[in-house]
């Protein structure tokens, strides 16, 4: 999809506490930083740490790939029967952080989670390489595995089952969208006096109407 790109990062004049901004602004800033990261990071500029929490309150974190974003939120895909999948479906909340070492920047996002539409999941699933589509069927994600050969046998099984034609998306494989209630842009500064700019939905405003920004101490 087409997204507006800001060519410059926010200036100090933009970072006044309690300033009100249009709803799309943090996503424009996100797009600008991601574009710079795509040019500077050697691997996976869309890699992000995803934090979830179990029913026992124990947090869990792992790296996943951001696959899409717009003003509705940030999208990634997974097996819903995996540890992260079951934890998200239980709490319907999550947090992510993208860290770009080459740029000395990071972005944190927290919010409620929704499941993407079947059409969105189908479109993304069928855009993946055929081997990755088969892998989504073959991997019993987050379950104990006796040895590597067991996984290879399952890949061979599903390859034989779908030798040609369209591979249907597994019913347990889809995407989540994090709808942000908190977005923080962090940028390195000398003497550890870093910049932190936080966006939160404007109090009393309808979802998708406007954001309030605050500058935080490092």
User: Could you tell me which of 213, 181, 212 has the C-alpha nearest to residue 195?
Assistant: 213
Catalytic residue among 105, 177, 192, 196: 192
SS3 category, 21: strand
Q: Active site includes 192? A: yes
Answer whether 79's CB lies under 8 Å from 173's CB.
Answer: yes
User: To which residue do tokens 């300033």 refer?
Assistant: 19
* Dihedral sign of CA atoms 7, 10, 14, 20 in order: positive
Instruction: Please name the helix (run of DSSP H) or strand (run of DSSP E) that holds residue 120, with its range, or none.
Output: helix 118-127
Catalytic residues, by residue number, are 192
């Amino acid at each position: 999809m087409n997204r507006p790109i800001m060519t410059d990062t926010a200036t100090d004049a933009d970072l006044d506490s309690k300033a009100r901004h249009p709803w799309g602004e943090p996503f424009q800033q996100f797009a600008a930083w991601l574009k710079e990261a795509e040019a500077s990071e050697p691997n996976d500029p869309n890699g992000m740490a995803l934090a979830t929490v179990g029913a026992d309150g124990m947090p869990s974190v792992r790296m996943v790939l951001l696959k899409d974003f717009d003003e509705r939120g940030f999208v990634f895909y997974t097996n819903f029967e995996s540890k992260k999948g079951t934890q998200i479906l239980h709490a319907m909340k999550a947090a992510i952080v993208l860290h770009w070492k080459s740029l000395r920047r990071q972005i944190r996002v927290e919010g409620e989670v929704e499941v993407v539409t079947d059409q969105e999941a189908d479109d993304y699933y069928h855009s993946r390489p055929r081997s990755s589509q088969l892998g989504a069927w073959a991997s019993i994600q987050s379950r104990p595995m006796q040895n590597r050969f067991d996984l290879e046998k399952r890949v061979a099984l599903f390859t034989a089952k779908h030798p040609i034609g369209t591979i249907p998306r597994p019913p347990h494989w889809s995407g989540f969208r994090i709808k942000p209630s908190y977005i923080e842009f962090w940028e390195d500064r000398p003497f550890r006096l870093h910049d932190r700019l936080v966006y939160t939905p404007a109090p009393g405003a309808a979802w998708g109407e406007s954001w309030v920004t605050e500058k935080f101490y490092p």
